[in-house]
A and B are shown apart, each in its own frame.
Chain A
Amino acid sequence: MKKKIVLLGVVIFLSTCFFICKNERFIEQGYSFEAPQDWEKTYETGVLTFLKGDDYIFFMKEELKGRSDSQYVDYIKAQIESSSESTEILEEKREGRFYVFYTRILQDEDNFIVGTALIKGLNDMYFVVSLKTYETTFENTKPVFEKVYKTFKLR
C-alpha cells in the first residue's frame, strides 16, 4: 500500500512537471500568460513580441491618463485605423475580463487581420494583447492568440 502511494506521488509529480514544461508561463512585470509554442520571442518591435513567420502577437501596457474604458477602446481602434488604408471590424465582444475585437485591415495591397484583447489592470493601467496576421493565416493563428489572452493574468 505504501509503495502504491509513493508511486502515485511520483506519477503526480512527473505529470505536474510535464504539464508545467509543456505550458510554459511567461512572466512579465505586472502580468503572466501562457507563451505560444514555436513562436520566437523578441523585443525588436520595442515591446514584448512573439513572432512566427510574418505573424506576430505583442503586448502593451499603458496608463489611462484620465480616459474612460470606452475612450481607451476607441483610442486603440483609431491607432489600428491610422496604420492602414482601410479597416473593417469583423467581430466585437466582451468576454469575461476581456474586451475583444477583430479587424480586417488593408496595408500596401495586403489584407491582414488584427485581433485585440484589452484587459483592465490595477490602478490606471490597461493591457493590450494584439495579434497581427495575414488574412490567409488567420485560421491558424486565431487559436494561438485566444490561448495567449485567455491565460493572461495580472500579477
Chain B
Amino acid sequence: MKKKIGIALGSGGAKGYAHLGVLKVLEKNRIPIDYMSGASSGAIVASLYSLYGNIKKVERILTDFHKVRSLIDFSFRGGIFKGEKVFNFFDDIFQGKTFKDLKIPVCIIATDYISGKEVRIKKGSVAFALRASIAVPFVLELVRYKNKELADGGLSSPVPIRALKEMGADITIGVRIEDRFDFNRKNVYSIIERAFTILQHNLSEYELSEADILLDPEFEGYGFLGIHKVIKGEIEDAIKEGERVAKKEIKNIKELIIADKVSGIYKL
C-alpha cells in the first residue's frame, strides 16, 4: 500500500498566501497529496486547490485583488464585516459543489463558539464551510448552523494535523503561518491581539508535535490578520516565503515518502 500524504494548511489571515508557495513547490516536485485540511485562510487555499488540482489557477483567483477588495461589506452586528459578499464569492467559485465533488479529500475546520470545540467539516456545501472557517470573531459575523455558532477554525485547531490523521494520512505535513514575530506595544488592541496569538501558537505547537514535517515560514509586517497587505496587493513576499520553506524541506519529504516503500520513488 502506498503511503498517504496529508497536508494541513494553518490559519493566519493574509499570511495564508504562503500556502500558495508551499503547494507550488510540492506540485513542481510531483509530491502526491492524498488529503488536505485547513483552518481559516488555510481552508480557502486547501479547498480551492482540491477543486482545481492546479496551483496556478488558485493563485490567479486569490491574487485578483480588485475582486478581493470588493468583498468588504460593513456590518454593525456581530462583526466588522457581514461576510455575505465573501460567501457569495465562494459560492460563485464552488457553484453549489459539495465536498464529494472535490478532487482531493478535504477537511475544513471551524470552531463551535458555544462549546468551544473543534468542528471538522467534511461534507455538505464547501462555500458554507469556508465562510464558517474564516469567521474571525469581531471581524466577520459568526455562522449559525443547527444549534451551533460557528467561528474561525484557528481558535480550536490552527494547523489541523489530527484531522488529517483521522482521514487516513500516513505522512503529515503541517504549515504554520500564525503571527509570532510582530509585537509592537502600540495600543490596547495590539496587547489583546498578542495574547490571542500566544494562545494560538501554543495550541498549534501541541498539534504539530504529531506532524512528520513542519513548514514554518516567517513574516514581517503582517500582524495578526494582515488584511492591509491584501488590500494593497502586497503579498508576493508571503508566497516566496512559502516557497523557501518548502524547498528547504523537500528532500526530507521525499525521503519520508520512499522510506520503506520503493513505489514512492516511481510516484515522484
B-facing residues in A47-91 (Cβ within 8 Å): 47, 54, 56, 58, 60, 62, 75-76, 79-80, 82-84
> In the assembled complex, which residues on chain A have CB atoms less than 8 Å from the CB atom of B259?
46
Query: Closest CB of chain B to A113's CB: distance in Å?
Result: 11
A-B contact count (CB 8 A): 51
Contact (Cβ within 8 A) A45 B265? yes
Question: A43 in the interface, Cβ–Cβ < 8 Å?
Answer: yes
Question: A114 in the interface, Cβ–Cβ < 8 Å?
Answer: yes
Q: Which residue of B lies closest to A60 (CB)?
A: B262
Task: Kindly identify which residue among A58, A75, A84, A108 contacts B265, using a CB–CB cutoff of 8 Å.
Answer: A58
Question: B1 in the interface, Cβ–Cβ < 8 Å?
Answer: yes
Question: A105 in the interface, Cβ–Cβ < 8 Å?
Answer: yes
> In the assembled complex, which residues on chain A have CB atoms less than 8 Å from the CB atom of B257?
46
Contact (Cβ within 8 A) B263 A83? yes
Instruction: Provide the bound-state CA to CA distance between A44 and B259, in Å.
Output: 13
Question: B228 in the interface, Cβ–Cβ < 8 Å?
Answer: no
Interface residue range, chain B: 20 to 34
B-facing residues in A106-144 (Cβ within 8 Å): 107-108, 114, 130, 132
Instruction: Provide the bound-state CA to CA distance between A131 and B7, in Å.
Output: 28
Task: Kindly identify which residue among A45, A54, A80, A108 contacts B263, using a CB–CB cutoff of 8 Å.
Answer: A80
Question: B2 in the interface, Cβ–Cβ < 8 Å?
Answer: yes
Contact (Cβ within 8 A) A76 B251? no
Given the known interface contacts A46-B255, A46-B258, A47-B258, the answer about A83 and B264 at a Cβ–Cβ threshold of 8 Å is yes
> In the assembled complex, which residues on chain A have CB atoms less than 8 Å from the CB atom of B201?
none
Instruction: Provide the bound-state CA to CA distance between A122 and B2, in Å.
Output: 30
Task: Kindly identify which residue among B251, B266, B268 contacts A79, using a CB–CB cutoff of 8 Å.
Answer: B266
Q: Which residue of A lies closest to B28 (CB)?
A: A54
Chain A residues within 8 Å of chain B by Cβ, number: 23
Q: Which residue of A lies closest to B268 (CB)?
A: A45
Contact (Cβ within 8 A) A82 B254? no
Q: Which residue of A lies closest to B252 (CB)?
A: A46
Contact (Cβ within 8 A) A82 B258? no
Query: Closest CB of chain A to B224's CB: distance in Å?
Result: 36
Instruction: Provide the bound-state CA to CA distance between A58 and B264, in Å.
Output: 13
Question: B267 in the interface, Cβ–Cβ < 8 Å?
Answer: yes
Contact (Cβ within 8 A) A45 B258? yes
Contact (Cβ within 8 A) B255 A79? no
Query: Closest CB of chain B to A143's CB: distance in Å?
Result: 21
Contact (Cβ within 8 A) A46 B266? no
Contact (Cβ within 8 A) A79 B261? yes
Contact (Cβ within 8 A) B263 A47? no
Instruction: Provide the bound-state CA to CA distance between A130 and B266, in Å.
Output: 9
Instruction: Provide the bound-state CA to CA distance between A80 and B268, in Å.
Output: 12
Question: B250 in the interface, Cβ–Cβ < 8 Å?
Answer: yes
Contact (Cβ within 8 A) B265 A46? yes
Instruction: Provide the bound-state CA to CA distance between A121 and B32, in Å.
Output: 32
Task: Kindly identify which residue among B1, B30, B32, B251 contacts A82, using a CB–CB cutoff of 8 Å.
Answer: B1
Instruction: List 4 A-B pairs, minimum CB-CB distance, nearest first.
Output: A83-B266, A79-B262, A79-B263, A46-B255
Which residue numbers of B lie inside 8 Å of A, CB to CB? 1-2, 29-30, 32, 250-251, 254-255, 257-259, 261-268
Known interface pairs A47-B265, A107-B267; 15 further A-B residue pairs with C-beta atoms within 8 A, sorted by A's residue number: A44-B250, A45-B265, A45-B268, A46-B258, A46-B259, A54-B30, A56-B268, A60-B265, A80-B263, A82-B2, A82-B261, A82-B263, A83-B2, A130-B266, A132-B268
